[in-house]
Structure 1
Amino acid sequence: MLKSVGVILVISVAVAFICQSTLPPPPRICGLPGGPPVTAPRVKLRDGRHLAYKEIGVPKENAKFKIVYVHGFDNSRHDVIIASNLPQEVVEELGLYIVSFDRAGYGESDPDPKRTMKSTALDIEELADQLKLGDKFYLVGFSMGGQTVWGSLEYIPHRLAGAALLAPVVNYWWSGFPESLSHKAFRQQLPQDQWTVRVVHYFPWLTYWWNTQKLFPASSVAAGKIVFSRQDYEIFSKITFSDGTNHREQTKQQGEFESLHRDMMIGFGNWEFSPMNLTNPFESKQRLVHLWQGDEDTLVPVTLQRYIAQRLPWIKYHELAGAGHVFPLAEGKAEAILRALLLGE
């Protein structure tokens, strides 16, 4: 009898420990007691959340083109990849106004426990309205931020004058991919990343535990142990921070779950739509959506981007030979991306 009670007690303690370890700690919300300070301008959204933003370029009242930029995974409003090495004379020539914002849970934007692809698109629309960007604006998204561009093409296409997806992360479970193609691309990822994405997709409630446990290697991307391409490493060796400041410590200051982990859960979860079923939202015959991809990108399989481009002929596809994931940081590339998007050059 006592032995049975002891076994039950041990099992109960073990189950309780496992359940407890799957629960993320509460976020450290900016501006609240115990949380980081608020240093950025912010707008208050429809549900009471705050969205932090950063403005770059000419004053918006003088701008010829207004662009909303969407940062990638483990980035923030400070990481505006299309402006990092953009010459000031180009900014003034084109009349560029760029606003970058912290996606929910990142930087100084409040977490959103109900975050979805649709809610992020609506955040962008509300930010544009509160900043008075006009009826239409351009949208540029890098890496995981590219998924937000897909979401905006689905949920707020009427607000877009054009859009650019730069090495956008692909969800292997989007409908429309031939199973053999997506399976082969999936297998090209590191084994630990394959397992992480599986857990995130099939068992999202285990996402926090998987990325914090020590039994198995978790996401190499979240751990900052990515194996980049040769060109990527060359680019990194030349990067300098234009204002002399590294803002990396702000990126996930409110907690890794509400920033990195929730990004994974949404990005690789079950989407309500597939980009491959999108129709051209623009009446113009000119291709106003651009997709840029390096053919040596080690994070996003080029084979899947090629297939998407074939399925969506209204998108202008740019494949860069020898380029990796951070090609927009290469000299002259940001200017080329913006001229193609804004001027059709």
Structure 2
Amino acid sequence: MRNRVRAADGRQLLVERLGDPRGRPVFLLHGMPGSRLGPAPRGMVLYQRRTQLIAYDRPGYGGSDRHPGRTVADVAQDVVAIADALGIEKFAVAGRSGGSPHALACAALLPERVTRTAALVGLAPWDADGLDWFDGMTAHNVREYSTAAVDPEELAARLIPRADGIRKDPKRLLDELRPELTDHDRMIVSDAGLRRMLEANYREGLRTSAYGWIDDVIALCSPWGFDPADIRCPVLLWHGEQDVFSPVGHSRWLARRIPGATATIEPAAAHFAAFRALPQILTWLLRDLPGAEG
């Protein structure tokens, strides 16, 4: 079920609801580049668990209007606008990769509404004290994040033509990433059904422009607008130890920073293994959502 929701400042957000429309609500925040069409448990799984999954295009992606200069913290008010429009009071939140910091923002800034939060293969704040932010990260990601921090216009000049190419041929992104994938990740993305879903996800995310992607990267390399130490709801951090796109040291830092956080580190897994972990993560997220809201 698809909805258009107006944000507090008048922007339009495109929302997708999956599973049981009367089920327990979980927001799923996509990676980058990505869209509301990204990886999610199958509809049958969601119905069996009496769950509705709410995904939406972050500003600038897919069918959502751009929000220039947005911070990671700005996601909270967009999620509130969607929840209010759908008549949902309390909900859980999960984020994968570039969506993980945004999920943590919801946990920190919406304590009365967020019951549990899961952050899969995520990143720590750019200014994380005591963390070598680039340790274990692939050279390509180091270059893009470093550029975003000092020259956002140069980042845009790089990502706009790259996004144009991916929009025309979305399998190009996975082909570009292949040399940097671990054997474990190559095995996961070799699945034909998963590849088709990822290609549709990338095409939709970049359908109108590259600016969702550009704004995401810049936001992650800027002050986030909240401190993960302020989170009080239960938090699960999931990471593959072999991840070279979002190194595992980021989740280890967050586990030390967030009070009571649980960290699950999979020794043999890498970045794309988070897709397979989603159903298990969903079970954990639903524990404090006994019934449907709205």
Task: Please give the TM-score of this superposition, normalised by the length of structure 1.
Answer: 0.72
The match for 2:230 is 279
Change (3 A) 1:235 1:241: closer
CA distance in 1, matches of 2:243, 2:194: 23
CA distance in 2, matches of 1:41, 1:87: 18
Question: Who is 1:151 aligned against?
Answer: 105
Change (3 A) 1:328 1:194: closer
Contact 2:62 2:204 in 1 (8 A): yes
Structure 2 matches for 1:129-144, cutoff 5 A? Answer: 129-134=84-89, 136-144=90-98
The answer as to 2:212 corresponding to 1:253 is no
Give the structure 2 partner of residue 77 of structure 1. Answer: 36
Aligned residues: 275
Q: Does 1:93 align with 2:33?
A: no
Q: Give 1:53's aligned amino acid.
A: V
Larger C-alpha radius of gyration, 1 or 2? 1
TM-score (norm 2): 0.84
Note the C-alpha offset of 1:125: 0.7
Aligned to 1:343: 287
Kindly state the Cα deviation for residue 201 of structure 1 after the two structures are TM-superposed.
0.9
Instruction: Rate the CA distance shift 1:40–1:242 in 2: closer, same or farther, 3 A.
Output: farther
2:57–2:64 Cα contact (<8 Å) kept: yes
Cα distance 1:206–1:241, how it changes in 2: closer, same or farther (>3 A)?
A: closer
- When you count helix as a share of all residues, which structure comes out higher? 2
- Taking a change above 3 Å as real, the CA distance of residues 302 and 242 of structure 1, as seen in their structure-2 partners, is closer
Tell me if structure 2 keeps the 8 A contact 1:187–1:194: no
**Structure 1 residues 168 and 304: CA distance shift in structure 2, 3 A:** closer
Letter in 2 for 1:341: L
The verdict on how the C-alpha distance between 1:298 and 1:132 changes in structure 2, with shifts beyond 3 A counting, is: same
Aligned counterpart, 1:67: 26
Query: Are positions 1:309 and 2:222 aligned together?
Result: no
Instruction: Name the CA distance, whole Å, in 1 between partners of 2:218 and 2:200.
Output: 27
List per-residue Cα deviations over 1:236-275 (Å, max 9, x = no partner).
112416998935322112211x211111111112333342
Does residue 208 (structure 1) correspond to residue 170 (structure 2)? The answer is no
SS of alignment partner, residue 250 of structure 1:
helix
Shift of 1:340: 2.1
Query: Which structure is higher in RCO with an 8 Å CA cutoff and minimum separation 6?
Result: 2
2:31 aligned counterpart, secondary structure: coil
RMSD: 2.7
Gaps of 5+ in 2: 163-171, 289-294
Aligned letter for 1:263?
Answer: D
Distance 1:247 1:279, change over 3 A: closer
Deviation at 1:280, TM superposition (A): 4.0
Instruction: Tell me by how many angstroms 1:55 deviates.
Output: 0.9
Q: Does 1:229 align with 2:188?
A: no
